[in-house]
Chain A
Amino acid sequence: MANPSQHISYDYTIAKWFMFACIVFGIIGMGIGTLIAFQLAEPSLNDFAGEYSKFGRLRPLHTNGVVYGFMLSGIWATWYYVGQRVLKVSMRESKLLMFLGKAHFVIFMITILLAVVSLFAGVTTSKEYAELEWPFDIAVVVIWVLWGMGIFGLIGIRREKSLYISIWYYIATFLGVAMLYLFNNMEVPTRLVTGMGSWLHSVSMYAGSNDALIQWWWGHNAVAFVFTVAIIAEIYYFLPKESGQPIFSYKLSLFSFWSLMFIYLWAGGHHLIYSTVPDWMQTMGSIFSVVLILPSWGSAINILLTMKGEWHQLKESPLIKFMIFASTFYMFSTLEGSIQSVKSINALAHFTDWIPGHVHDGTLGWVGFMTMAALYHMTPRVFKKEIYSKKIMEMQFWIQTIGIVFYFSSMWIAGITQGMMWRAVDDNGTLLYSFMDTVDALKPYYWIKAIGGLLYLIGFFMFAYNIYKSITSNRSIEVEPKSASPMQA
């Protein structure tokens, strides 16, 4: 075989399953998110289904639905596509790998559906992004191990000797989340110790300030290794493929990868500034979060410069637009994060709406756009169909962009207003505003935010429709496109 890579037929079965899961959970997670955004503006929306429609119950459902349902499915869809292609080996070549992949998907589905039910019922550990109780935690570990076996199994039988950049990032996602998840979810099931009470209940291994420390070590780095590292894996593969341009600099990708690994884990401390954990940790959290700008911008600039001399593609292809917008938002939200980690700014921003504002800059702009772009790129290659409508894509892009602008501008203003009002005092040093005054002041911004979220959700429905029509329409393609995805209308 002179060049085996030309004769490999890749197996996308599992990639397809995860693509569907990604879209379904995107709709569910973002739908609940939009609902709870409106609940803040109009509290009577809490009442339509008794205890199951209260903000407190729905909020963890929104975060888990989006983070684990939508984003992880997206990451896995891309893994089961990208992994085979850059390692030059088909899943079909190994019965074991196919089995692991299928088990991965099936157990993931069962777990996440049980998780939805348990969160509706109020079964939660209360730790953000780690709300699931211990039996589901164990299932998550099983899922993760299955994925890890899949990764290293595929690497084990690869034909391409060198690991492409994306593979570095997928490996890092796997290892980082594995370590953090295990430590943060250490808990003791009370029924097993005492033989009494609920089977689902557990107590954390850590107490008070220690618990907070571990939680934010995890909490921030779930952001790091799910929302960032894995998404960088995607863009390093999909942007060069779609644009037909090689990555701008190999050295820069090396530098930004290793420095990101080295610095990211320290950043969790910035959630604890002015809390009761030791001062030096708060300072470390703050400093490393500011330094984090270097590797973040390193990757983002590397990605943007990949388009050097090819910027006209931005005008011609909405798909390139999605990807470039995503990395621009990556730069923007990492800069924002560094700013918020400066102690004096954190004092103002912490506990305010600027924080969810920041999270959504990253998730809507960076993660959401990149995930949708990846799925758009995969559709013609996985289903052998043209993308149904360029026009819908174009419209979707602008509707969602306007949604994001509504979202972050309102949350910035709301957050800074809130922070300033909380600390405002008169000449005698007496507080100027009651807490309720600040709530009243924020109501208009809650409306704007909710409308922004609704626009993004509408855009997501357009995305789902476009993918659906692409798959079901007759516009088949015979030969896989080399770069730009075909879309005519």
Chain B
Amino acid sequence: MFSWLEKNPFFFAVFVFVVIAYAGLVEILPAFAPNARPIENRKPYTALEIAGRQVYIKESCNACHSQLIRPFKAETDRYGEYSKSGEYAYDRPFLWGSKRTGPDLMRVGNYRTTDWHENHMKLPTSVVPNSIMPSYPHLFNKDADLQTAYAEALTVKKVFNVPYDEEGQTKLGSYEEALKMMVEQATPIVDAMNDASVKAAFEPCKKDPSASNCEIKEIVALIAYLNSLK
């Protein structure tokens, strides 16, 4: 039936392409618009939260932690309300994960505190005995990349019309304004932390967010992100 194709490489390739491509057309395109609509009250991430999200991605936290609560009683009892499509409207990329070596984090902001996260990242077994999670001491030494975080927020605002700076939405502003807001959001987090070096590095920020010696550590941004997951 198809044997004539085997002598016509060009048509063969075209035929293969059509046969494999149509599934994508049928399956993927119809869902695009409705999937992307944000759920009510959902706001874009602040620049500091994006910086934290970038740390989360950099360390591949999603290799072990999911962010998708399935609609089963066991999961909603354990992690909170099940996930809705519109809750992910500002997630670029999505971070559902594919394996739970650790628990789901979709709503971790509801039941963990800054203090808990700090200890957990420094030495996981100090808060969860027998934990097999690695410790992340380098997050306490490295500065969060605030510029790249701001660049990401500005990009999605410009390119994908994410509603920054609109009425009732997250404010982004210019880079100087954004820095000020990042320091504002970081202040209560740093205050709640115990690590002396993180506190010392942050001290100059309180006077001048644009100062060159103002340092927001990766751990602070990461905690801001984790606290925002609700």
A binds B: yes
B35 touching A208, Cβ below 8 Å = yes
A351 x B2 contact (CB < 8 A): no
- Whether the Cβ atoms of B64 and A55 lie closer than 8 Å is yes
Residue of A nearest to B75 (CB): A422
Q: List 13 A-B contacts (CB under 8 A).
A: A43-B133, A123-B58, A163-B6, A196-B150, A203-B93, A261-B19, A265-B21, A276-B87, A276-B88, A281-B31, A430-B77, A436-B131, A443-B132
Scan residues 11-44 of chain B and give those whose CB is less than 8 A from a CB of chain A: 12-13, 16-17, 19-21, 23-24, 27-28, 31-32, 34-36
Q: State the B residues within 8 Å of A (CB).
A: 1-3, 6-7, 9, 12-13, 16-17, 19-21, 23-24, 27-28, 31-32, 34-36, 54, 57-64, 66, 68, 70-75, 77-78, 83-85, 87-103, 128-136, 138, 145, 147-152, 154-156, 158-160, 175
What is the 8 Å Cβ interface bit string for chain A, positions 237-276, against chain B (1 contact, 0 not)? 0000000000000000010001001101110010100111
Interface centre among A162, A215, A351, A431 (most CB of B within 10 A): A351
State the CA gap A111–B150 with chains docked (Å).
29
- A478 to B78 alpha-carbon distance, docked (Å): 69
Task: Say yes or no: A55 contacts B63, CB within 8 Å.
Answer: yes
Closest A residue to B62 by beta carbon equals: A126
Chain A interface residue count, Cβ-Cβ cutoff 8 angstroms:
91
User: A207 within 8 Å of B by Cβ?
Assistant: yes
* A171-B12 in contact (CB<8A): yes
Known interface pairs A124-B60, A175-B20, A203-B92. Does A196 touch B83 (Cβ–Cβ under 8 Å)?
no
Out of B20, B74, B151, which one reaches A176, CB within 8 Å? B20
User: Which B residues lie within 8 Å of A429 (CB)?
Assistant: 73
Closest to A431 in B: B77
A215–B28 alpha-carbon span in the complex (Å): 11
Query: Are B68 and A57 touching (Cβ within 8 A)?
Result: no
Across the interface, which residues of B come within 8 angstroms of A274, CB to CB?
70-72
Instruction: Select the stretch in A185-193, A297-305, A334-342 that faces chain B.
Output: A185-193
Q: How far is the CA of A59 from the CA of B129 in the complex (A)?
A: 24
- The distance in angstroms between the C-alpha atoms of A443 and B19, with both chains bound, is 45
Question: In the bound complex, do residue A201 and residue B151 qualify as a contact, i.e. CB atoms below 8 Å apart?
Answer: yes
Q: Cβ of B145 and Cβ of A197 under 8 Å apart?
A: yes
Contacts A198-B148, A266-B23 given; does A353 touch B99 at CB 8 Å: yes
CA distance A50 to B154 in the complex (A): 33
Further contacts, 17 of them, CB under 8 A, given A197-B151, A271-B98, A355-B98: A50-B138, A123-B58, A163-B7, A163-B9, A171-B16, A197-B145, A203-B92, A212-B94, A261-B19, A265-B21, A266-B23, A275-B68, A277-B31, A277-B35, A284-B27, A347-B72, A355-B99
Inter-subunit contact B35/A436 (CB<8 Å): no
A47 touching B135, Cβ below 8 Å: yes
Sorted nearest first, the 6 A-B pairs with minimum C-beta distance are A208-B88, A197-B148, A56-B60, A197-B151, A46-B134, A265-B23
Q: A residues within 8 A CB of B7?
A: 161-163
Given contacts A198-B145, A266-B27, contact A203 B130 (CB under 8 A): no
In-complex Cβ contact of B31 among A127, A162, A168, A209 (8 A): A209
Query: What is the bound-complex CA distance between A310 and B91, given in angstroms?
Result: 56
A94 within 8 A of B: no
Question: By the criterion CB–CB under 8 Å, are A208 and B12 in contact?
Answer: no
CA distance A355 to B63 in the complex (A): 13
